[in-house]
Amino acid sequence: MRKILASVDLGSDTLKLVVGELFKGRINILAKSCLKANGIESGFITDKEQFIKCLQELFKQAEDMLGIPVKKVIVNIPSKNIKFYMNEGYTTLEQNVDSIRHIDILRAMQASIYNQLDEKEELATIMPISYKIDDEIVLNPLGKTANKLTVKTIFTSVPKENILPIIKCFEKIGVHVIDTTLGIIGDYYEFKTPKIDELIGAIINIGHKSTNVAIFNKGILTNTVCLDVGSDNIDNDLAYMFKVPKKSATSIRKNLCLAHKRGSSANIKKEYTNKEGKNVAISEYEATVIASSRIEEILKLAKNEINHLTKKEIHYIIVTGGISEMTNFSILLEEIFSQSAKIGNTKELGLRSNIYSTTIGLIKYYLDKLKLRGQEFTIFNEMELDELSGAGKRFNINENSILGKLFGYFFDN
């Protein structure tokens, strides 16, 4: 079965949709769409009609690339008022079953959350952290003989208002949300490695309106916080200092600003019209001083939050988000975090931009979830897959074909 999944990242600045296929252990991007967000802020819908129009255009862009509509997606949800729980659940094996199956693990995990959430809460994530068969602790219970399986889990919940309005808007345009989870989970799955999976660390995602900081202990989310500051604050600073409209401030940030003033030039200038209608020449150095000051503040706030979220030693810090790709960002990062922090590097062919880290990571997260459940899934049925293969041969990569071998060469070397 071809494993094709789609995910949507609901940001305050942009909405992003990615369709990807698991190919030789990596995600092959089949389609992407990205457009300016309207009717949503920090994951919460502010104007339902505007948001639905945005979604319709987002999915139309993807359909134009694929030749068929995308009707099933994974979506990120806001982490506001998140709660963390740890509990155990167990299941006894059926009489005619002599070894533990995926379904037994799922039943034990479901038992761990039974009666734990109130009627206003919705499950956001659940991860097993240890297994016990009868009285023996094991790393992997699959296939082992036992009478009773006990699973300790850590799970999170968010208010239903974080999820239900979003799902209803997707349903309005005929799209089924197959799963929801926190965006920071996607970021972790995009950048994780076998080594990171064994360590304690932090992920920082600097978004448009907010910055998410999360602690992961051996691949398990243990704490997170959302700061009400992001790249939009940089634009506000530039607009105020240079007395230009907000749209011009965004242009200044994208075309003139470096993340650190080292190497910035006072001779590189661009002209902008201020609010008084006068043309003003703004230098790279002037703009960088303002922008770098705000970025430094964001990173220092994130650093303080990491110290509040855990008292354990942090072995890695990964920073992502659009502004992490600004020139000289790594210089500022090293000044604040020393050698412990690095910029995340989204490597997927055709999507080498950190603005897509959440979207791609959500697909990887769901694939891992399917593996835990011993299930296979694709968003397209057989008829749609035939249409997809016929509409765009570039998406139907055979491992033994010249294109397949070339594709494998680039990723295996």
DSSP string for residues in 179-193: EEEEHHHHHHHHH--
Lowest average pLDDT, out of 46-50, 302-306, 387-391, goes to 387-391
CATH of the domain at 372: 3.30.420
- Measure CA 399 to chain center: 29
CA distance 193 to 191: 7
How many domains does the chain divide into? Answer: 3
Same domain, 2 and 48: yes
- Measure CA 135 to chain center: 38
Residue 317 has pLDDT above 80, yes or no: yes
Q: Is residue 300 part of a domain?
A: no
Mean pLDDT, to the nearest integer, of 85-97?
92
What are the CA-CA distances from residue 363 to residues 33, 155, 231, 359 (Å)?
A: 15, 20, 25, 7
C-beta of residue 369 within 8 angstroms of C-beta of residue 179: yes
CA distance 189 to 290: 33
> CA nearest 384: which of 75, 172, 57, 72?
72
DSSP structure class, residue 14: E
The sheet carrying 220-227 orders its strands as 220-227, 211-217, 200-206, 316-320, 341-343
CA distance 198 to 266: 46
Same domain, 3 and 67: yes
Q: Is residue 318 part of a domain?
A: no
C-beta of residue 317 within 8 angstroms of C-beta of residue 201: yes
Q: Tell me which residue range forms the domain holding 366.
A: 1-71+348-413
Same domain, 41 and 97: no
CA distance 151 to 97: 18
Lowest average pLDDT, out of 98-102, 155-159, 253-257, 386-390, goes to 386-390
CA distance 74 to 179: 5
The last residue of a domain, from among 136, 160, 184: 160
Residue 396 has pLDDT above 80, yes or no: no
CATH of the domain at 272: 3.90.640.10
Same domain, 8 and 39: yes
Mean pLDDT, to the nearest integer, of 6-25?
93
Residue 318 has pLDDT above 70, yes or no: yes
HSE at residue 62, side-chain half, CA atoms within 13 A, is 28
DSSP structure class, residue 314: P
Same domain, 64 and 91: no
The one-letter code for the residue type at 288 is T
Q: Which run of H or E residues covers position 149? A: strand 148-159
Residue 172 has pLDDT above 50, yes or no: yes
CATH of the domain at 108: 3.30.1490.110
pTM of the prediction? 0.89
Share of the chain above pLDDT 90, in %: 84
Give the other-Cβ count within 10 Å of 273's Cβ: 12
Residue 400 has pLDDT above 50, yes or no: no
Q: Which residues contact 332 (CB under 8 A, 6 or more apart)?
A: 259, 260, 292, 295, 296, 299
Q: Is residue 179 part of a domain?
A: no
Lowest average pLDDT, out of 150-159, 193-202, 260-269, 372-381, goes to 372-381
Same domain, 89 and 148: yes
Give the other-Cβ count within 10 Å of 411's Cβ: 13
